[in-house]
């Protein structure tokens, strides 16, 4: 699922150069002024996306003024933009040590999130929320992490809090819909996907998700419409082609299903599911040799694809090849496909 990027926080202030007597106190003030000058130059470079130069300016500013909290924070933000997540975490920690804030806890949490440190990221997002109970992104990312932990109830609560703080948060609606779908609440999931699409009609994955929940609700026409919208937004969206192919298959429109699975394979040649699904269409069209060829390809890509073994076994049965059928069904059963166990019991000695 797609995630929002970290918002970069930039702080700037004006400075004035004045003549000074060279006392030791005035030297410290001169250093501070030079640090502020470098800092503001870094801000401008950051805003213009000259990240390497901005990083250098913030580093120079910190060298002159080692308690420069905003410079640590903004340097951390630059590092987030350039993918140096470990370095970003260090800078956000320095910012927190100097002046704890919601934005710094969120930045550190996001750097941990990007490095798959889920529990530590949750702790920082929780700290963010303690400091600012309306911090929508902190609720959102914490919800994503609870979703990944399969704690869907808690994920729903966090996505709902994100929505309360930011009512136009399309990503939060989408992900809350996915969590509700995992909780077997397809009607509520559908409503969330609809709202996500209303707020942002150009999110291909949300149209795909809405199509899938409508397919689950046996609204195949509505599912196909959403998959088609998804493809119109993202023409290389192989998952949407595969899903629309499944909907066409269930409607008995086998030629359209065949075309969609073939397009999915063209876009992603190692897509085992599409090969299996196209083989199923060929089976329905009585092209058994073509079906076997596609099942073989699916299993070449994923040798542990139990359903491909099951389906190939059924095809071999239609081709009057019982030894091959039973071999495939036994393999499918060993991979946990319960249906295959029934075939073995009934038809294999």
Tens-digit pLDDT profile for residues 223-282: 999 999 999 999 999 999 999 999 999 999 999 999 999 999 999 999 999 999 999 999
Q: At CA 165, angle to CA 160 and CA 168, rounded to 5?
A: 85
Q: Contact 146/175 with Cβ under 8 angstroms?
A: no
Closest-CA residue to 121 (of 110, 134, 135): 110
Per DSSP, helices labelled H in 200-304 are 204-216, 220-233, 238-250, 254-267, 272-284, 288-301
From the list 56, 78, 59, the residue with the least C-alpha distance to 8 is: 78
Looking at CATH, the fold of the domain delimited by 133-185 is given as 1.25.40
What span, in angstroms and rounded, lies between the C-alpha atoms of 231 and 249? Answer: 18
Q: Please give the Cα distance from 159 to 179 (Å, whole number).
A: 9
> What is the pTM for the complete model shown?
0.86
Q: What is the pLDDT of residue 349?
A: 79
In the predicted structure, residue 8 carries a pLDDT above the cut 50: no
pLDDT of the residue at 162: 98
pLDDT, tens only, 291-330: 999 999 999 999 999 999 999 999 999 999 999 999 999 9
Model pLDDT for residues 58-108, shown as the tens digit of each residue: 999 999 999 999 999 999 999 999 999 999 999 999 999 999 999 999 999
- 73 Cβ contact partners less than 8 Å away, ≥ 6 residues apart: 9, 11, 91, 92, 95, 103, 104, 107
Q: What does the alpha-carbon distance between residue 297 and residue 286 come to, in Å, rounded to a whole number?
A: 18
Position of tokens 């004045």? 18
CA angle 195, 274, 297 (to 5 degrees): 160
Under DSSP, the state recorded for 285 is T
Comparing 5-9, 38-42, 145-149, the range with the smallest average pLDDT is: 5-9
Asked whether the beta carbons of 98 and 71 are under 8 A apart, the reply is: no
CA 266 to CA 233: how far, in whole Å? Answer: 18
- Stretch(es) of the chain classified as CATH 1.25.40.10: 27-132, 133-185
The average pLDDT across 147-159 equals: 98
Q: Is 85 helix (H, G, I), strand (E, B) or coil?
A: helix
- The four Cα atoms 231, 235, 237, 238 give a dihedral, to 10 degrees, of 100
Query: Rounded to an integer, what is the distance from CA 222 to the centroid of its chain?
Result: 25
The pLDDT score that the predictor gives to residue 17 is 27
What tokens were used for 339? 């249906």
CATH superfamily ID and name for 27-132: Tetratricopeptide repeat domain (1.25.40.10)
CB-based contacts of 338, cutoff 8 Å, min separation 6: none
């Amino acid at each position: 699922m797609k995630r929002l990027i970290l918002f970069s926080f930039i702080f700037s202030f004006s400075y004035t150069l004045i003549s000074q007597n060279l006392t030791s106190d005035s030297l410290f003030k001169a250093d501070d002024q030079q640090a502020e000058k470098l800092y503001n130059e870094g801000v401008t470079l950051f805003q213009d996306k000259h990240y390497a130069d901005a990083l250098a300016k913030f580093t120079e500013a910190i060298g002159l003024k080692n308690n420069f909290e905003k410079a640590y924070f903004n340097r951390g933000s630059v590092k987030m933009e350039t993918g140096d997540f470990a370095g970003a975490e260090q800078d956000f920690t320095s910012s927190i040590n100097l002046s704890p804030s919601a934005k710094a806890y969120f930045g550190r949490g996001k750097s941990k999130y990007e490095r798959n440190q889920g529990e530590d990221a949750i702790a920082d997002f929780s700290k963010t929320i303690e400091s600012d109970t309306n911090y929508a992104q902190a609720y959102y990312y914490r919800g994503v992490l609870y979703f990944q932990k399969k704690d869907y109830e808690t994920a729903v609560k966090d996505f709902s809090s994100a929505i309360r703080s930011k009512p136009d948060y399309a990503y939060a609606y989408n992900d809350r819909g996915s969590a509700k779908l995992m909780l077997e609440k397809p009607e509520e999931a559908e409503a969330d996907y609809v709202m996500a699409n209303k707020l942002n009609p150009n999110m291909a994955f949300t149209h795909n998700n809405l199509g899938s929940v409508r397919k689950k609700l046996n609204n195949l026409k509505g599912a196909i419409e959403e998959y088609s919208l998804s493809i119109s937004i993202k023409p290389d969206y192989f998952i949407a082609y595969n899903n629309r192919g499944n909907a066409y298959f269930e409607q008995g429109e086998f030629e359209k299903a065949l075309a969609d699975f073939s397009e999915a394979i063209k876009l992603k040649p190692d897509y085992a599911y599409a090969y299996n699904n196209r083989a199923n269409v060929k089976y329905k069209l009585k092209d058994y040799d073509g079906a076997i060829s596609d099942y073989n390809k699916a299993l070449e890509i994923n040798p542990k694809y139990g359903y491909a073994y099951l389906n190939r076994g059924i095809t071999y049965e239609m081709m009057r090849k019982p030894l091959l059928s039973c071999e495939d069904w036994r393999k499918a059963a060993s991979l946990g496909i319960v249906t295959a166990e029934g075939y073995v019991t009934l038809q294999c000695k």
